[in-house]
Every structure is written in structure tokens, then in C-alpha cells.
Amino acid sequence: MATPIARSRPALPLKGLITADRGCRVLGVCGMHPDHQEALKKNRVVLAKQLLLSELLEHLLEKDIITLEMREHIQAKVGSFSQNVELLNLLPKRGPQAFDAFCMALRETKQGHLEDLLLSTLSGLQHVLPPLSRDYDLGLSLPVSESCPPHKQLRLSAEAVEHSLDNGDGPPCLQVKPCTPEFYQAHSQLAYRLKSRPRGLALVLSNVHFTGEKDLEFRSGGDVDHSTLVALFKLLGYQVHVLLDQTAQEMQEKLQNFAQMPTHRVTDSCIVALLSHGVEGGIYGVDGKVLQLQEVFRLFDNANCPSLQNKPKMFFIQACRGDETDRGVDQQDGKSHAQAPGCEESDAGQQELLKMRLPTRSDMICGYACLRGTAAMRNTKRGSWYIEALAQVFSERACDTHVADMLVKVNGLIKEREGYAPGTEFHRCKEMSEYCSTLCRHLYLFPGHPPV
């Protein structure tokens, strides 16, 4: 939940805030992933001969991959082969989601053998991560700095981050330390498999501007969190999808669509980050309605998301879990603390005859910004305490530390932080993050291995 920020430190107006594209799918801003284009190209003749378009086009129309005019243009071609060729010419130009939507439409129209052919080809490709200057989700601008060899760094645009009134001017330049071949060889056998390129799909859902009867406040600093996580997940080898300012129903629908993406079948893990106002057990949509977190987890469980069975699924929740501000307590030894950054804001093997059974929910780990019943804190210039700590730890320690231990280190950073907002209830306030896990192995992200 949001609470007014301290008046003792007036905030500068935020510049370059990322705004919503409510209900509109941006197509043509950025192209289809090169690997997806290659999979279509390698199977072009088979697809042109075997595709059955009548129902398939309706599915693509429903998913906003093609327009009515495009459907008519395709249907105007003489013969099924020519119509199929026209569709195959169009698909690579219809945005980053077109391949997954096409695969899903094949499955829904009982042409799953063609979907299997595409995914098999995709899995066999020698994947190369896209240059960091390219963005295959919704066209977020994250310029690349060439000044940080040997690994390119993602710098956040100066216009997207407001200059801080305290000890910094926004998030630092992120650089993820690569894991060494020796570390990979020593730890990979007992850990979850994480070798696919991309490592998996990552979804960052960020609600910043709110409407509705709840009168929820604008989440100043939320754009910094969003940009930080997009940069971090890309550097860790994930293909990032972005959703901005969604209603509760839109969140549920688009999370379900994300969970059903065919690409999950050929990648090794998944990340979902939810940034919004919240209550215990749920997060707010921009319409003031609540999406229950248990519903989010259900969408990715072993029953509803078989493509991710036995694969690690990471969730990060930056949202309040109640109204109570943690006032903290003095240590018995009276140890003093350095002044914390200012102007913080509350953010309310062999196959057996019988198939092996799995529990309904497993192989998940979820990090929460705060404890049950308490408010999560957010710096209006540098973003949320939790996301800032998460980016710091994961960029520095993913090379040699598994995810659960990294979240313990995040807890340690959050424990030490203290609010600075004299004259408000948030002065010297505290926060404590936590995580819960059903992981069954160590989860190392092995950044940079094997080298491209």
C-alpha cells in the first residue's frame, strides 16, 4: 500500500516514466526472435504443404497476431499452398510473441505434429543470446555501454531515473559476474539443469499508475524497479517479457498465457516478478481489484503447467503484505547504524511402466519483499529496497552461489537498512524480506556458461 512520502525532502518530478499500453499489443516495434525465425525457415516447405489455415487464422486473429485485413489478404491467394506461404511471410514481422502464439494455435487446431516439429528444431539450434541492445519484448529502451569490457553492461537511461536527493542517482550499472568452467563442473551434477539458451522465459509485471475506488497512489520509483529487473534477467540469460499497468483480470489472463507458452518446453527454468501495491495473499491490479497469489502459483504448478514440470520456477513479489509499518527495536548493545538513504515510501532415467507421480506444486522458490502483515518500503529515486538488494546480490554472487543462499544474503541487506524520513512514521522504519521454497536441488544460474 502507498503512504505519503516525507514532506521534509520534496521530491523532484520523475522524468521518463514508463507508462502503460493498456490492452494494446505493440507489434512491429521489435521483431521475432532470430531463433524463432530460423525454426520457421528450416521447416518452411513442410509448413507450406501441411498447414490447415481455416481455423488457424481465427486463432491468430483472436490473439492479435494478424489483423482482419491480413486474414482477407491471405485468403485471397489461390490455393492452400500460396495461402500458407503468405502466412509464413507475415509471421516473422508480427512481433516477439508471434512464434509462441502460432505454436499455441497449431496445438489448439489439432496440428500438434507441426508444433512439435518447430519446437524440436528450436531445441536443436545452437542458441546465441541476442545482443543486449536489442529488446524482444515490448521495445523497452536500454542502451548498451561499450565501456565495460569484456562484458557489455546495460545502463539505464538517464531520463528514466530521477536524480536522488541522498547517496545516489539511481540504480548502478549492472554487470553479472560469469561463473567459471571449474565451478560449473564441480556443481552442475547435483543442481538443477540450467544450460538452455535462453535459460528460460522471464516475466516482469509492473503496475505503477492506479485507478478505481481504492485510490491507490502512483508508485514513484516503480519504474526503476522494472528497468533494473529487465536488465538483470537479460544479463542472466533470460528472454524477458514485460507487462505494464494491468487490471486484476488482465494480470490473471496474461499470466495464464505466459505459463502456456510453448517455449517453456525447450528451456530449463522460469522467472515471474510481480511489482505492485498489495495486501496479504494478493496484489492489486491498476483497477484496485486483487489477484490472489495462490492463483498465480496455481497457473505454474505441475498440473496446469506440465512444460515446467521438474524445472525450477522463481517468483519475486515486490508488494505490501499488510498495513503495519515495522518500527524496529533497539539492539541490546545499542549499536548505532549509518544513516540510511532518504525519502522512503511504503509499498503497500529408464521409463517405467507406471508414470512417476509428482506433487501438485514443487520446484518453486518465492522471494517476498516483506513479512506477512507488514508494508514493503520503496525509495522514490532508487526503487524498492528489495529489488535493489536483489539486483546487487544476484549480479555479484550468481556466479558461485545458489538462489536460496542468495536470498539469504538479500535478507541480510534488508535487515540492515533503515528508513530516513524525519517527521513521518517512516523515519527509522525497518523491513524484513523472506522466501519460501519447494526446490528439490540447488538452483545455480551459472551465468555465462557455457561461453557464447
Active-site residue numbers?
277, 320
Task: Tell me the CA end-to-end span of the chain in Å, nearest whole number.
Answer: 43
E-state strands within 117-257: 144-145, 153-154, 200-206, 239-244
| Helix pair angle (68-75, 80-90), 10° resolution | 150
Closest CA to 107 of 97, 93, 96, 118: 118
Residue 278's Cβ-count burial label (10 Å; 0-12, 13-18, 19+) is buried
* Spatial CB neighbours of 246, under 8 Å, sequence gap ≥ 6: 20, 205, 207, 254, 285, 286
- Other residues' Cβ atoms within 10 Å of the Cβ of residue 149: 7
Pairing of strands 200-206, 269-275: parallel
C-alpha pair distances (Å), 164 with each of 23, 136, 170, 381? 33, 30, 6, 5
Q: Which residues contact 75 (CB under 8 A, 6 or more apart)?
A: 53, 57, 83
CA nearest neighbour of 275 among 344, 209, 204, 343: 204
DSSP 169: S
Pair type for strands 313-318 and 344-347: unpaired
